Amino acid sequence: MEITAFERQVFFTTIRIVSTHNGEVSIGTGFIYKEDLPIDGYAVTFLVSNKHVLCNTDWKLSLNFHKKSQDDDHPQFGNSVNIERDNFIDLYYEHSDSEIDLACIDITNFTNQVDVFYKNLHKKFVEPYDVKTLSPGQQVFFIGYPENRFDLQNNLPILRSGYLATIPEVDFNGKKQFVIDAQVFPGSSGSPVFAATDGNYRLLGVVAATMIKDQKLMTIPADYKYSVQQPIGLGIVLKTELVIELLQDAANKISERVKAVLVTEGKPWKLRSG
């Protein structure tokens, strides 16, 4: 199967995040992004999600990747590689603003395993674009694991769609966010939201919350059980500029550590050109 088209690649940029602790289980979505460090020759691979998905850094983290085929750079459907980490506080970075529900973890060592297959989002996907090219009512897509539903046999997430429900260049409720008209359920937290604009797909943001029947905005944990309160088909999406802030800050912090190690080991380093 050819997976060169973005519509297929995005199925392999998304990872199901499972955290467990003393019988409790939390499930959410994350997506993979590779960031070049300002130090020449170094790059880092991040798994981006929400703080409320990744904040339990002392829990056991479980990520399920596809196993790479031995004869070519393709996934082995039905054959997975599970990677677990009991404590990942040393890999965890969150947005500097405590009110912004975004975080990431450095999974570089995980993805460097030769038998792991994945696709990472590239810089072109998060490049600035003219937001005025987007219109309310335009179709958007998001991919993840709603209510922990996915293709169990082939370890594939579910692609869903919706529509822009607010004017994208206006910050909804005065925050860097917008609303989509879509059924956003637990497990979708951390899902990347994208749309076609200027002839290319662009990351518009990350799913962070849903709107419930009493009209209050609410971030619902992945293991939340609905009772009287029910979602009304509106989701809150944090804008891409916040994702860029998170990734750049995390990359800078990692760069400082890398430089410190290189200096300690007496190895030369230089800033990446351009």
CATH number at residue 225: 2.40.10.10
What 3-state DSSP class applies to 161? strand
* Cα 194 to Cα 126: distance, rounded to the nearest angstrom: 10
* Cα 16 to Cα 186: distance, rounded to the nearest angstrom: 12
Q: Are residues 34 and 115 in the same domain?
A: yes
Domain-located, residue 11 = yes
**Domain residue limits at 37:** 6-122+248-264
The DSSP 8-state label assigned to residue 39 in this structure reads B
Q: What is the pLDDT, as a whole number, of residue 219?
A: 56
Q: Are residues 215 and 254 in the same domain?
A: no
Domain-located, residue 270 = no
Q: Are residues 116 and 147 in the same domain?
A: no
Q: What is the pLDDT, as a whole number, of residue 203?
A: 93
Domain-located, residue 273 = no
Q: What is the pLDDT, as a whole number, of residue 3?
A: 62
In tens digits, what is the pLDDT along the chain, a chain of 274 residues? Answer: 566 678 888 899 999 999 888 888 888 999 999 988 878 778 899 999 999 898 788 889 999 988 888 777 788 888 888 899 888 999 999 999 999 999 999 999 888 876 888 988 877 788 777 888 899 999 999 999 988 898 889 999 999 999 999 999 999 999 999 999 888 887 889 999 999 887 788 999 999 987 766 655 555 554 444 445 566 778 899 999 999 999 999 999 998 888 888 777 767 666 665 5
CA distances from residue 237 to 42, 65, 108, 118 in whole angstroms, order as listed: 31, 26, 26, 24
Domain-located, residue 274 = no
Q: Are residues 192 and 102 in the same domain?
A: no
pTM of the model: 0.88
Q: What is the pLDDT, as a whole number, of residue 106?
A: 94
Beta bridge partners of 14: 31
Q: Are residues 158 and 24 in the same domain?
A: no
Q: Are residues 86 and 22 in the same domain?
A: yes
